[in-house]
Chains A and B, each alone.
Chain A
């Protein structure tokens, strides 16, 4: 995950204190203004991470990383300029500020219109911290490795032939200051335990895998202390368990092994139209790809055309009032949900975070924006969606949490399934692919169950569904209630050139989509 490899103990050592960071930030801001900047911000960041990898009975790798430096972004002559340095001293920051101004003035030569930055009040000296109960870096590495090895043992004891498990932990210690008068100190934590088990049938040469049904979360190590209240029973007949704010890795690893084995003899799906019932741990990725990305305003405007692509949901398309989804589909963006990956107090350009509606009962009402985009859609403020994955990368527009509102009428998963005559229940994140304007997608999953006459009727395999974004969301016939609501997470979402990653959550409750095209992905090789 980057940074310089360090001793794990280093991850607990304090960084610069706030007074030192303010003094250095002021040096950068003053140097930028003296060089001719009309606006400047500085991010002094200490990015810590640790990854632990195991397979079966052995620890493969433990890597602890630290990256420390500062990035200065300015507007001069109406253009953006950015420079970064790992020399976090008064001289280093002043030099970076001057370099950023020089870069802005050079970029101004090809700029067509000056940057139009939405006004932003200064917040003075403020701070925010992810409300964690236990810092994962304070847990001894050996204890964390032992938990992964215990999960591997649970999988092996339940019939897995192979199991790989890993634990990713991140702590961003970010200090932001701007010429608007904000000095924001934030301490952000994220965690992701995951695994993949494999079951093989040596005689036939067949093999099947089942990945963890955990979610990456904006939580501390408490996520790995399972609480009964956080468990949500899956559909009757599947044995599946959904996890909210804590995760039982041992329970899931054991079930994963049994399910991977069962997949070896599961019925290969008959291609055709089915009503799909999608678990939140699966539906989150569909939300991410078919709603989260197309509503990023930079994609809509063409800034990502050469790599990630553009969007069907253009400003002109929105004016046509074509329904994005059915009346059951209300999509909310936020950077606030406790435990979510997107939760921060302020974004990376000093905007206090909030919640806003993107799709209201099927109708597209808004996009995801940052300060220099708000004017394009006639708005006066940013949504707080600006993020950079390191001090050395320039901040740009990234996806906030984007979530499907649960249904308001009481509806459990079993109740929902009881009304499905011919369908498929899908849980977990599988293969996923979508076009560059976000029309056509194909998704797989981790486990698939046939639904016949309102009941789970056995395991299926070789399932993937193909749909058009608008048709799919307009086929949303029912959404379970709040009691089934859970977060799915994407830990390494890539975008931009050079590519940067970000982490984002997607909440939903189990939902039903009618008459979706399912293909059979089984093939025979000669």
Chain B
């Protein structure tokens, strides 16, 4: 039941819309079938499977709106759901930010590339491959594998119809030495579970764990760093690049409360804020990171350039803010692509006289929204580079740095890889600011 086909979903939504007497009505379905397995100390700790489908109905009377949801789809329940949405709408205050529902739209068709379904047996095997590798080497693994198929469908009284199915699987593993003196990490997310190799990823984390034993302390200060993709984007926490791209919101900038705010009023769209080698865009049709075809309002996504040659080309405009400013609204993408070159992380290391390799950053928090200053720490594999080679592991460090300053201090850009639904290259950056040492391993 969790995954409805396009025809099944639209038939259900069409029926729901016949029950309403509201001025405008929009119904959306969302479903996911997924499973996960979690392990620690080389032993499975939890495993589970979830199936869910839910229907949301938004009813509008004039500028008053109400939303109700349900997860059972018999006729009586559907009618009650619509009725509840209408009752809530009648009680709601008029919204000063009212925008009419969208009419029919034309959508792109992002590729759907899954060839394998992640069964409980496959999940158990994937975890066993990781745990067995570690147990055989007297290492300790802790990992999490979570994957499944989702669908979204929308239909409204203005004639809009939308549907999309997608798959996603993410695996991450932390490997620690038995004495707790070394720790390594690896992560990957894929559209097609067949492309996931938990053994190879665990080997990468294991190499970092054994390589990070006997870490030396270095003085905090400004260093040239090579930030691997896991130090730039994350699916479960704030990240340096995720925070920057997510912060390109026109309304907060125009209101005067964003790093994109312009002195004297307005925003900094069109200004060159970064090194001219920085290009960031989103593209729902990208084969490696297929994106959403439409956003929560039903607005079609399209290829959109955010930063081109260091210049901010576009910002997010909600439908309300776009109408107020007489510009086109922007569909909010679910990932982004940063262009790069052909060099791997290993190649970047070879070209570095002195620097630090950062595997992962952790507990990143905003310190100052005015400058987008973030703090956080390195974790699970931090190494000193000298004369083009890793010389020794170093103790973890706390940084205080703004991605805006960071993207002006570019030394080299590597080959993009997929992570957290984005395509991101490893970056070599000069003068990255570390402010204190951490004893954490």
Residues of chain A at the chain B interface (Cβ within 8 Å): 4-7, 58-59, 62-63, 80, 82, 86, 103, 106-107, 110-112, 141, 145, 161-162, 198, 200, 202-207, 209, 301-307, 309-310, 312, 314, 392, 394, 431-440, 442, 444, 462, 464, 466, 468, 497-499, 517, 519, 521-526
Q: Does B95 contact A (CB under 8 A)?
A: yes
Q: Which 3 A-B pairs have the closest CB atoms?
A: A440-B438, A305-B142, A437-B440
Candidates B47, B71, B255, B369; contact of A4 at CB < 8 Å: B71
Question: Is there contact, CB below 8 Å, between A439 and B440?
Answer: yes
CA distance A273 to B221 in the complex (A): 18
Q: How far is the CB of B195 from chain A (nearest CB, A)?
A: 21
CA distance A466 to B375 in the complex (A): 11
CA distance A344 to B397 in the complex (A): 40
Question: Is there contact, CB below 8 Å, between B379 and A435?
Answer: yes
With A433-B377, A437-B438 known, 7 other A-B pairs at CB within 8 A are A7-B84, A162-B257, A200-B256, A312-B440, A437-B440, A497-B146, A519-B400
CA distance A432 to B438 in the complex (A): 15
The 21 listed contacts between A and B (C-beta, < 8 Å) are A6-B68, A59-B93, A107-B47, A110-B39, A110-B128, A110-B131, A141-B91, A209-B369, A302-B176, A303-B41, A304-B142, A394-B46, A431-B367, A434-B363, A437-B438, A464-B367, A466-B398, A468-B439, A498-B146, A523-B405, A525-B405
Known A-B contacts A205-B263, A302-B40, A523-B368; A394 and B48 likewise in contact (beta carbons under 8 Å) = yes
Q: How large is the interface on B (under 10, 10 to 19, 20 to 34, 35 or more residues)?
A: 35 or more
Closest to A58 in B: B96
Question: Is there contact, CB below 8 Å, between B436 and A440?
Answer: yes
Q: How far is the CB of B319 from chain A (nearest CB, A)?
A: 15
Task: From B56, B371, B398, name the one whose CB has the most chain A CB atoms within 10 angstroms.
Answer: B398
Q: How far is the CB of A266 from chain B (nearest CB, A)?
A: 13
Candidates A6, A145, A203; contact of B263 at CB < 8 Å: A203
Q: Does B45 contact A (CB under 8 A)?
A: yes
Q: How far is the CB of B332 from chain A (nearest CB, A)?
A: 17
CA distance A435 to B88 in the complex (A): 45
CA distance A24 to B83 in the complex (A): 31
Candidates B42, B143, B236, B371; contact of A523 at CB < 8 Å: B371
CA distance A262 to B97 in the complex (A): 31
Question: Is there contact, CB below 8 Å, between B400 and A521?
Answer: yes
Q: How far is the CB of B277 from chain A (nearest CB, A)?
A: 16
B50-80 contacts to A, CB under 8 A, are 50, 54, 56, 67-71
Question: Is there contact, CB below 8 Å, between B440 and A440?
Answer: yes
CA distance A437 to B366 in the complex (A): 21
Q: Does B168 contact A (CB under 8 A)?
A: no
Question: Is there contact, CB below 8 Å, between A525 and B142?
Answer: no
Question: Is there contact, CB below 8 Å, between A58 and B144?
Answer: no
Question: Is there contact, CB below 8 Å, between A521 and B368?
Answer: yes
B72-106 interface bits toward A, Cβ cutoff 8 Å, 1 = contact, 0 = none: 00000000000010011001110111000000000
Contact partners of A6 in chain B: CB under 8 A: 68, 84
CA distance A433 to B362 in the complex (A): 9
Closest to A437 in B: B440
CA distance A209 to B128 in the complex (A): 49
Question: Is there contact, CB below 8 Å, between A82 and B48?
Answer: yes
Known A-B contacts A5-B67, A205-B262, A305-B174; A435 and B438 likewise in contact (beta carbons under 8 Å) = yes
Question: Is there contact, CB below 8 Å, between B131 and A525?
Answer: no
Closest to A3 in B: B69
Question: Is there contact, CB below 8 Å, between B256 and A202?
Answer: yes
Question: Is there contact, CB below 8 Å, between B375 and A464?
Answer: yes
Contact partners of B440 in chain A: CB under 8 A: 309, 312, 435-440
Q: Does B212 contact A (CB under 8 A)?
A: no
Task: From A141, A435, A444, A519, name the one whose CB has the most chain B CB atoms within 10 angstroms.
Answer: A435
Question: Is there contact, CB below 8 Å, between B95 and A431?
Answer: no
Question: Is there contact, CB below 8 Å, between A499 and B408?
Answer: no
Question: Is there contact, CB below 8 Å, between A82 and B46?
Answer: yes
Question: Is there contact, CB below 8 Å, between B435 and A519?
Answer: yes
Closest to B71 in A: A4
Candidates B40, B370, B379; contact of A436 at CB < 8 Å: B379
Contact partners of A436 in chain B: CB under 8 A: 362-363, 377, 379, 440
CA distance A235 to B3 in the complex (A): 59
Q: How far is the CB of A303 from chain B (nearest CB, A)?
A: 4
Known A-B contacts A107-B44, A303-B142, A462-B368; A523 and B402 likewise in contact (beta carbons under 8 Å) = yes
Contact partners of B368 in chain A: CB under 8 A: 462, 521-523
Q: How far is the CB of A311 from chain B (nearest CB, A)?
A: 10
Contact partners of A63 in chain B: CB under 8 A: 67
Q: How far is the CB of A503 from chain B (nearest CB, A)?
A: 20
CA distance A497 to B146 in the complex (A): 9
Question: Is there contact, CB below 8 Å, between A433 and B41?
Answer: no
B86-141 contacts to A, CB under 8 A, are 87-88, 91-93, 95-97, 120, 124, 128, 131, 140
Question: Is there contact, CB below 8 Å, between A431 and B365?
Answer: yes
Q: How far is the CB of B9 from chain A (nearest CB, A)?
A: 19
Q: Does B373 contact A (CB under 8 A)?
A: yes
Candidates B44, B146, B264; contact of A111 at CB < 8 Å: B44
Contact partners of B398 in chain A: CB under 8 A: 433, 435, 440, 442, 466
Contact partners of B366 in chain A: CB under 8 A: 431
Closest to B54 in A: A4
Closest to B265 in A: A202
Question: Is there contact, CB below 8 Å, between A5 and B68?
Answer: yes
Candidates B88, B236, B402; contact of A7 at CB < 8 Å: B88
CA distance A62 to B65 in the complex (A): 11
CA distance A130 to B262 in the complex (A): 50
Known A-B contacts A62-B92, A440-B436; A435 and B69 likewise in contact (beta carbons under 8 Å) = no
CA distance A5 to B67 in the complex (A): 7
Contact partners of B12 in chain A: CB under 8 A: none
Q: Does B404 contact A (CB under 8 A)?
A: yes
Question: Is there contact, CB below 8 Å, between B404 and A307?
Answer: no
Q: How far is the CB of A235 from chain B (nearest CB, A)?
A: 25
Q: How far is the CB of B151 from chain A (nearest CB, A)?
A: 19
Q: Does B43 contact A (CB under 8 A)?
A: yes
Closest to B258 in A: A207
CA distance A63 to B439 in the complex (A): 44
Task: From B56, B87, B88, B402, name the one whose CB has the most chain A CB atoms within 10 angstroms.
Answer: B88
Q: Does B169 contact A (CB under 8 A)?
A: no
Q: Does B31 contact A (CB under 8 A)?
A: no
Contact partners of B87 in chain A: CB under 8 A: 7
Question: Is there contact, CB below 8 Å, between A206 and B363?
Answer: no
Contact partners of B315 in chain A: CB under 8 A: none
Contact partners of A312 in chain B: CB under 8 A: 439-440
Q: Does B38 contact A (CB under 8 A)?
A: yes
Q: Does B259 contact A (CB under 8 A)?
A: yes
Question: Is there contact, CB below 8 Å, between B144 and A307?
Answer: yes
B252-297 contacts to A, CB under 8 A, are 255-257, 259, 261-265
Contact partners of A58 in chain B: CB under 8 A: 93, 95-97
Contact partners of A310 in chain B: CB under 8 A: 176, 180
Closest to A464 in B: B367
Q: How far is the CB of B257 from chain A (nearest CB, A)?
A: 5
Candidates B41, B54, B236, B396; contact of A301 at CB < 8 Å: B41
Known A-B contacts A4-B69, A440-B398, A464-B375; A306 and B173 likewise in contact (beta carbons under 8 Å) = yes
Contact partners of B367 in chain A: CB under 8 A: 431, 442, 444, 464, 521
Contact partners of A110 in chain B: CB under 8 A: 39, 43-44, 128, 131
Q: How far is the CB of A447 from chain B (nearest CB, A)?
A: 15
Task: From A161, A205, A468, A522, name the one whose CB has the most chain B CB atoms within 10 angstroms.
Answer: A205
Known A-B contacts A5-B68, A7-B88, A437-B439; A306 and B172 likewise in contact (beta carbons under 8 Å) = yes
Candidates B236, B255, B364; contact of A162 at CB < 8 Å: B255
